[in-house]
Amino acid sequence: MAIELKMPALSPTMEEGTLAKWLVKEGDTVSAGDVLAEIETDKATMEFESIDEGTVGKILVAEGTEEVKVGTVIAILAGEGEDVSDIEAPAPTASSDDEVKDVEGEGKDVGREGNPLDIDKPASKPRADDPEVPEGTNMVKLTVREALRDAMAEEMRLDERVFVMGEEVAEYQGAYKVTQGLLDEFGPKRVIDTPITEYGFAGIGTGAAMGGLRPVVEFMTFNFAMQAIDHIINSAAKTNYMSGGQMRCPVVFRGPNGAASRVGAQHSQNYGPWYASVPGLIVIAPYDAQDAKGLLKSAIRSDDPVVFLENELVYGQSFEVAQLDDHVLPIGKARIMREGSDVTIVSYSIAVGVALEAAEELAEQGIDAEVIDLRTLRPLDTETILKSLAKTNRVVIAEEGWPTCSIASEVIAVCMEEGFDHLDAPVLRVCNEDVPLPYAANLEKLALIDKDRVVAACRKVTYAD
Amino acid sequence: MAKASDSKAEKNAQPAGDDDFALRSLQEALEKEKRFKPSEDQLMHFYEQMLLIRRFEEKAGQLYGLGLIGGFCHLYIGQEAVAIGLQSALDNDRDSVITGYRDHGHMLAYGIDPKVIMAELTGRAAGISKGKGGSMHMFSTEHKFYGGHGIVGAQVSLGGGLAFAHQYNEDGGLCLAYFGDGAANQGQVYETMNMAALWNLPIVFVVENNQYAMGTAVKRSSAETEFYRRGTAFRIPGMDVNGMDVLEVRQAAEIAFKHVRDGNGPVLMECNTYRYRGHSMSDPAKYRTREEVQDQREKNDPIERIKKELAAAGIDEDKLKEIDKGIRATVAEAADFAESSPEPEPGELYTDVLVGEY
């Protein structure tokens, strides 16, 4: 059968090109790999190779022709045993692709036009509340550090697939002692010291999750995870989608995030907004010990990749924790830390403590502030934010992190888009200063969010001054 | 880990000369018996599989030229012997495979239906990733084929993780992790080799050295162009293999897999091969001469080589033509299917982002 040679697309964006030169003439015998013609696009001159063997029958587009559309038949190749002179040339402009209705974009669309506005987006369902703590449950004081350790130990007891890896997690007992005692209980198979090689072990952890395990990958701090961010985003977050739902990646990346104390700019950054911008990830940033424990347990059980952001300055703080066998908290649910009626302070991680202090001071000034701890940054519990906004009509976001493209920016956008009618004042954000974190004690203090700034913002939106 | 410290102690106990021997021992085993001795059926099967890859890729090139395949499309033409030689030696009940974006051949080597692969290339709902992955992002968890990864070198660390899971689960499997000569200069490859050797992971690192990283020749990018030597720093034995000869690749696979299964830790295998086509479809091919490509095709083609073996075994030329005809028909059918099957439903936009509901 005669083979139609069509004007090829040589790049994803090429629609037409110039047939610069024919390197064969009618009657020539060609084999696979022979260059038939040179084709010019705006980017380059490319050689057009034959894929088949045969004899060049008719050349339908002369050399030097410009604006030849991709898919146009430019020549006919006669196959083995065919007589070149028998070949009928098709009408030069007819492209056999015309029979497929091409709607738009690359490739041939077979007629379905998708307008994003017509698609039923999966509606976000109301999220479950925290499970009730039964009356009379014994409450114990636990540091966040101990709560995190207990969460890992409990899940490791329940599920053989769970293991912990990272720098200094085993014999050193954790750079910040979060994994203290795990090596003794679970042994070196399940508590694994890695070399200082974040990109590599984040990849190994992610691959192990793809292979069916449930890794908890500790970064000594999230600052070092920047070396590994490719695996968190490109490998862990996207693979389920790219595989059409075949590939699971139930990995937890955890470690301290945000500013510590006097460690300078490279060791002091909040990555919450970075990870929270990525579809395919769950991002959790708890504040107190109860949430740290309940949410880390949920994170380890989740079938999705989770970024679990802790805070070094909170590790040593003690909180009341209910003594329950298996306290698991819902991912994606914010928590109202303090009820109030005049202004809502939205916060997460260490800034929740700042927000609660500010609320105390505001109370003394006669302003009743509600404090929301987001706990999960992705998916964001917009329902709880908007409900509170409808009640107080005023929102301030307190965030230990840079203001630009922050979680605060996102909450402001949500309030504008979905809560505009309830707003009695512009939403304000109280964040760190927009500078790399300085080392000098006085400058560091100036750069970080504090109670006074939150109080001032709340007074402003309540028109108290 | 207990195993790691044991093996380290053993290694340290050996005199230096023996160490050097250990690094070369697999290569020496290969030199003794270079080529696998297949049965006639096996030989025929290798031929069929390699030819299927060749014809499939030629068709994919054509469909790309017609605008039916978008984006990037990296063809495996010329490299067929590598995937077939290695994967024919796997134990598919336990072993896993991972590769980069030049992944069509590795999937076909598993016997995965060409239709669902081609339909993925054209972005259709029937594609193996529901049309949401494309040429570079294809997976088959059923076959323990873990992709299909678009970031150069990332699959090597992920493969380390798959090997880690084999060891953790004590399932006796190994991971075959492919990467190119380009990826061989990525830092994470060596981070992974270090941990794989340290922890004695069951993994075979395979460098498919097709001589060019996009348009950059190996000698212009690599201080050490003999990639099989690059495991030496981590005490990983290397193998230097002719990747244009399916029987040599298969023989090397037998040796490497046995070494790994016997609990000796990772192997680094370099398969020297050649890609006839551009890096991707939009490659102007100005970095090498036509003569160089033509020379490889004429003198070194893996399919022509096996054709000669088949002729020597007394297989009739007509029978081979018949096989080619059948494969062309299979590929044409796959292309028709990929052209005519529907695009994904618009609602698929929102599925598979997360597994759980939150």
pLDDT digits (tens, 9 = 90+) for A148-170: 999 999 999 999 999 999 999 99
Write phi, then psi, for A76 (nearest 5 degrees). -120, 135
Instruction: Mutate one of B157, B169, B275 to test the A interface: name it (highest A CB count within 10 A).
Output: B157
Confidence of residue A198 (pLDDT cuts 50, 70, 90): very high
**Higher-scoring residue by pLDDT: B312, A94:** B312
Residue A20, CA distances (Å) to A39, A71, A405, B256, B262 in order: 5, 16, 49, 50, 59
| pLDDT attached to residue A192 | 98
Average pLDDT over every residue of B286-294: 90
Judge if A448 and A394 occupy the same domain.
Answer: yes
Is the model's pLDDT at A118 over the cut of 80?
A: no
In a domain, B64, yes or no: yes
For residue A138 the two structure tokens come to 């014994």
**Cα A412 from Cα A210, distance rounded (Å):** 36
Which residue from A197, A210, A332 is facing B195, i.e. has the nearest CB?
A: A197
Q: How far is B273 from chain A (nearest CA, A)?
A: 18
Write phi, then psi, for A162 (nearest 5 degrees). -80, 130
Judge if A169 and A307 occupy the same domain.
Answer: yes
| pLDDT attached to residue A83 | 67
| pLDDT attached to residue A89 | 55
Range list of H helices, A83-170 = 144-158
In a domain, A71, yes or no: yes
For residue B119 the two structure tokens come to 């339909």
| pLDDT attached to residue A156 | 98
| pLDDT attached to residue A1 | 62
| pLDDT attached to residue A93 | 46
> Each residue of B186-221: pLDDT tens digit?
999 999 999 999 999 999 999 999 999 999 999 999
Number of separate domains in chain A: 3
Which residue from B132, B284, B349 is facing A242, i.e. has the nearest CB?
A: B132
Average pLDDT over every residue of A333-338: 98
**Higher-scoring residue by pLDDT: A121, A1:** A121
In a domain, A224, yes or no: yes
In a domain, B305, yes or no: yes
Number of separate domains in chain B: 1
Crossing angle of the two packed helices B40-65 and B246-259, in degrees rounded to 10: 110
Judge if A68 and A152 occupy the same domain.
Answer: no
Judge if A441 and A414 occupy the same domain.
Answer: yes
Is the model's pLDDT at A126 over the cut of 80?
A: no
Confidence of residue B232 (pLDDT cuts 50, 70, 90): very high
In a domain, B284, yes or no: no
In this structure, are strands B203-209 and B175-180 parallel, antiparallel, or unpaired?
A: parallel
Judge if A289 and A363 occupy the same domain.
Answer: no
**Cα B34 from Cα B40, distance rounded (Å):** 18
DSSP A31-43: -TT-EEEEEE-SS
Q: How far is A365 from chain B (nearest CA, A)?
A: 38
Judge if A339 and A317 occupy the same domain.
Answer: no
Average pLDDT over every residue of B167-180: 98
Write phi, then psi, for B276 (nearest 5 degrees). -75, -35
CATH number of B143's domain:
3.40.50.970
What pTM does this model have?
A: 0.90
Q: Which residues of A337-346 are buried (b: 16+ CB within 10 A; e: fewer)?
A: bbebebbbbb
Collapsing DSSP states into helix, strand and coil, what is residue A295? helix
| pLDDT attached to residue A104 | 52
**Cα A19 from Cα A61, distance rounded (Å):** 8
Is the model's pLDDT at A110 over the cut of 70?
A: no
In a domain, B204, yes or no: yes
Residue A335's Cβ-count burial label (10 Å; 0-12, 13-18, 19+) is buried
**Higher-scoring residue by pLDDT: A122, A303:** A303
Chain A residues whose CB is inside 8 A of the B6 CB are none
Q: What is the mean pLDDT of chain A?
A: 91
User: Residues near B20 by Cβ (< 8 Å), separated by ≥ 6?
Assistant: none
Judge if A314 and A367 occupy the same domain.
Answer: no
Domain boundary pick from A62, A94, A126: A94
- The verdict on whether omega for the bond into residue A258 sits within 30 degrees of 0, i.e. cis, is no
**Mean pLDDT lowest for which of A171-185, B60-74, B114-128, B339-353?**
B60-74
Average pLDDT over every residue of A389-407: 98
CATH number of A30's domain:
2.40.50.100
Which residue from A47, A211, A248 is facing B96, i.e. has the nearest CB?
A: A211
In this structure, are strands A16-22 and A65-69 parallel, antiparallel, or unpaired?
A: antiparallel
CB-based contact A211 B342, cutoff 8 Å: no
Judge if A360 and A270 occupy the same domain.
Answer: no
Residue B212, strand partner residues: B217
Is the model's pLDDT at A73 over the cut of 80?
A: yes
**Higher-scoring residue by pLDDT: A460, A53:** A460
Nearest to A315 by CA among A408, A183, A180, A194: A180
Chain A residues whose CB is inside 8 A of the B159 CB are 207
Is the model's pLDDT at A54 over the cut of 80?
A: yes
Residue A315, CA distances (Å) to A285, A422, B115 in order: 13, 37, 54
Instruction: Mutate one of A100, A214, A242 to test the B interface: name it (highest B CB count within 10 A).
Output: A242
| pLDDT attached to residue A6 | 85
Which residue from B147, B169, B343 is facing A109, i.e. has the nearest CB?
A: B343
Judge if A226 and A259 occupy the same domain.
Answer: yes
Range list of H helices, B88-147 = 104-109, 114-121
Judge if A369 and A310 occupy the same domain.
Answer: no
> Each residue of B69-88: pLDDT tens digit?
999 999 999 999 999 999 99
Collapsing DSSP states into helix, strand and coil, what is residue A45? strand
In this structure, are strands A428-430 and A395-398 parallel, antiparallel, or unpaired?
A: parallel
Confidence of residue B44 (pLDDT cuts 50, 70, 90): very high
| pLDDT attached to residue B8 | 42
Q: Which helix (H) or strand (E) holds A22?
A: strand A16-22
**Higher-scoring residue by pLDDT: B284, A136:** A136
In a domain, A181, yes or no: yes
For residue B189 the two structure tokens come to 């490859």
Domain that includes residue A33, residue range: 3-94
Chain B residues whose CB is inside 8 A of the A12 CB are 70-72, 282
Q: How far is B186 from chain A (nearest CA, A)?
A: 11
CATH number of A357's domain:
3.40.50.920
In a domain, B217, yes or no: yes
Q: What type of residue sits at position B221?
A: S
| pLDDT attached to residue A106 | 43
In a domain, B352, yes or no: no
Chain B residues whose CB is inside 8 A of the A243 CB are 129, 132-133, 137-139, 141, 147-148, 352
Nearest to A203 by CA among B184, B138, B152: B152
**Higher-scoring residue by pLDDT: A41, A408:** A408
Judge if A213 and A304 occupy the same domain.
Answer: yes
Instruction: Mutate one of A42, A69, A108 to test the B interface: name it (highest B CB count within 10 A).
Output: A108
Chain B residues whose CB is inside 8 A of the A118 CB are 346
Judge if A198 and A303 occupy the same domain.
Answer: yes
**Cα B188 from Cα B183, distance rounded (Å):** 9
In a domain, B53, yes or no: yes
CATH number of A203's domain:
3.40.50.970
Confidence of residue A81 (pLDDT cuts 50, 70, 90): low
Query: With a cut of 0.95, is the ipTM above it?
Result: no
Catalytic residues of A: 198, 267
Domain boundary pick from A322, A347, A376: A322
Average pLDDT over every residue of A214-226: 98
Chain A residues whose CB is inside 8 A of the B140 CB are 246
Confidence of residue B135 (pLDDT cuts 50, 70, 90): very high
Nearest to A100 by CA among B66, B349, B222: B66
CB-based contact B157 A109, cutoff 8 Å: no
In a domain, A200, yes or no: yes
| pLDDT attached to residue A114 | 56
Is the model's pLDDT at A350 over the cut of 90?
A: yes
Query: Which residue, chain included where needed, has tokens 């798959």?
Result: B162
Domain that includes residue B177, residue range: 45-277+289-338
| pLDDT attached to residue A49 | 78
**Cα A179 from Cα A353, distance rounded (Å):** 24
In a domain, B155, yes or no: yes
**Cα A176 from Cα A173, distance rounded (Å):** 8
- The verdict on whether omega for the bond into residue A92 sits within 30 degrees of 0, i.e. cis, is no
Number of Cβ within a 10 Å radius of residue B224: 12
Angle at B274 between CA B273 and CA B279, to 5 degrees: 130
